[in-house]
Amino acid sequence: MSFQIKNATFVNKKVTPQNVNFEVNKSEVATVIGAEDKTLRHFKNILMGRNLVKNGVFKIDGFDKVNAQWTRRKVALIDSRNSLIRRWPEKFWLYWSLLLNKNFYSEAKINYINSKYSYLSFVTSKNNQSDLDMRAKVESMVEQFIESSVAIEMQWLDEFLDKMVTFNDNKLQEKYGNIEEHIRIIVKDYYYLIEKNANLEFLQTFLQSLWDKVYSFIDLNSLCTCEYNARKSKNRETRKKAKELKFTQQNFVIRKQLKIIDLKIANIKRKISKNKFIIKNLSKQIIFELKKTDAKKFKRLKEIDELFKWRQLAKDQRFEFKQKQDNMAFEALADEATIIRGKIVEVMHKYHKEVLEGKVFEGDLKTFRITKQEYKDNIKTINAQAWDWINKTVEDLGMKMNFVKTTFKVSVTNNIYFKILNSIYLKKYNFVFYNILSRLSKEECEELFNIVENLKSINPKFSAVFLEKGIENSYRLSKNIYVVDEEKTYETDFESLMKENWNTYGSSIFANKNRVAYSYDGKTVEVLGQKVKLENTRLDEKGQFLINPFKIYLSKKELKGKYIELTGKIRQTEEFKDPNIFEIILNSGVRIFFYTTLRFEHKARTTIYLSEDSILRTI
């Protein structure tokens, strides 16, 4: 679940609403409307984690919200503020922002190393198919060794992390269940990061040990005497083949894996450093919050572990786990590496025998050249990968951004798209669009809606929340919407909202639309020159019907009971952002909004039917 907020109240009593219930699942899009700018702004700040939760549940992606800094890593705020001032062309800034993203940089670097060393290994085979087969076998063995070793290590670490997190959470609840909820959530995240960082340090040690073992696969000359014997042979032809018997064919295969492990170690070191910074800040925040609750009791508190005595038990468990880890990293890994070395020597010695016996075979030269060029074309620098990622993502999302035209003019849509792209590669899966739709044309809104739908297709983790002031700016009027006021948030639908909050949300947009005058003689109602008998509606002698846009029919088959038939011209309307809302101008001049998934040409004539259930309310 992307957002899960249940009966949440906040430490800051000035925040409105004080009680919040709000849920959005992954791959869902929700609309939240609020009549007051202040209330809507406060709700936006709530979703962005800027207010500490006092009581209730507040989870993002299944995790308890900690603070604003934590929330910013998971939630992207998309507003219309111009962040592209002096950022032109947009693609240039997207490109540099992408290169500054460490996750993207690491993945792009690994892709570059993979393609480069695969190319070098292929080229140095010189179309010797036997050589290529041997290299493929060696690479497969080395990759399998690395992948299986890392998989086992990750499984151990994940299981131990789950165990320690559960232990810490249970002890915290058991010993300090009376601590205020928002402080307990921060403490949980604090110890989660401590345990996670300790696991990262274990993983770093393991990968460093793995690097040493893989490096030992390079120098294997001493394990095979083929080259030495060939050099000392009295046969001239055999001496010529000695240079082909050197243990160099596996070099590019092994060095590729070493460089990839190097990158992963550097990435882990960066994460450890970043987590230590966050842990330090969380520690300060916890002590600050504790002193606010009881300044005298926590006056001399400097270290969190001074308060939570059970932490020593957790440290003891980690020490025992470390000993097991050392055995895995230094003993079991060494034994496995020795076996792999033997297998590599066996494969290469078999190739040496083929060389000496003249049984190697050449591949097709034309095919070799074509494959060589394909390998070369696959080598893409990090810069090229950044450009490709931007272009592909823009295309997949259906964005219409002008990256070619060089101009200082920054459109609202380009600004929004820039923020969306920036958030995607930062892996923020929860988008909060704040007062966006009211600033866009209907065509621009429809394009944005399509982008949001495409986001969900690219990755089902994505969700979106639109915060807007009026009902006319709703994402999809046919779906339920959330309403936020000074007291609470609640879920409703269009019809209920119009009935219960007409003055707030309906009177403006329907000031001169969907209103049909009527007269009633006690038995029949006359509407636009047509008389019909109503069964369940009590009426004054004269008044107006407000027509429900969702209960206007285009076919008699959908009708139940008495009805009236009206004809007019259809046109697109800019008042509503929902592309399924149209306006019909009746022959009498009355204008009516109605909802349909059908499509009409501009000014096309059509007939609509109104029945008793088309009446939303009387005015």
HEC profile of 72-89? HCCEEEECCCCCCCCCCC
Contact in structure between 115 and 378 (CB atoms under 8 Å): yes
Which residue has better confidence, 471 or 415?
471
Torsion, Cα 236 237 243 246, to 10 degrees, reads -110
What rounded mean pLDDT belongs to the chain? Answer: 85
Q: Is 589 left (phi over 0), alpha (psi -120 to 50) or beta?
A: left
Residue 281 makes CB contacts below 8 A (sequence gap 6+) with 69
Q: For 74-92, what is the mean pLDDT?
A: 68
> Which residue has better confidence, 160 or 236?
160
Strand partners, 591: 585
* Residue pLDDT, tens place only, 403-462: 544 444 456 787 888 888 888 878 899 999 999 998 888 888 989 999 999 998 888 999
Confidence of residue 292 (pLDDT cuts 50, 70, 90): confident
457 Cβ contact list (under 8 Å, min separation 6): none
d(C-alpha 71, C-alpha 226), whole Å: 62
Between strands 29-33 and 481-484, the pairing is parallel
Q: Distance of CA 540 to CAs 38, 280, 361, 535, Å?
A: 39, 70, 100, 14
pLDDT (0 to 100) of residue 87: 47
Give tens-digit pLDDT for 168-202. Answer: 889 888 877 778 877 888 888 889 999 999 999 99
b/e string for 345-370 if b means 16 or more Cβ within 10 A? Answer: bebbbebbebbbeeebeebeeeebee
Provide mean pLDDT across the span 535-553.
84
Cα within 13 Å of Cα(147), Cβ side: 6
Question: Cα-flanking dihedrals φ and ψ of residue 300, to 5°?
Answer: -100, 10
* All domains of the chain in start order, with CATH: 3-82+410-492 (3.40.50.300), 101-366 (no CATH), 512-618 (no CATH)
- pLDDT of 451: 93
Angle at 348 between CA 343 and CA 351, to 5 degrees: 135
Residues 207-234 have a mean pLDDT of 82
Residue 410's pLDDT is: 54
pTM equals 0.76
String of DSSP letters for 311-354: HHHHHHHHHHHHHHHHIIIIIIHHHHHHHHHHHHHHHHHHHHHH
Q: What is residue 232's predicted lDDT score, i.e. its pLDDT?
A: 76
Percent of the chain with pLDDT over 70: 94
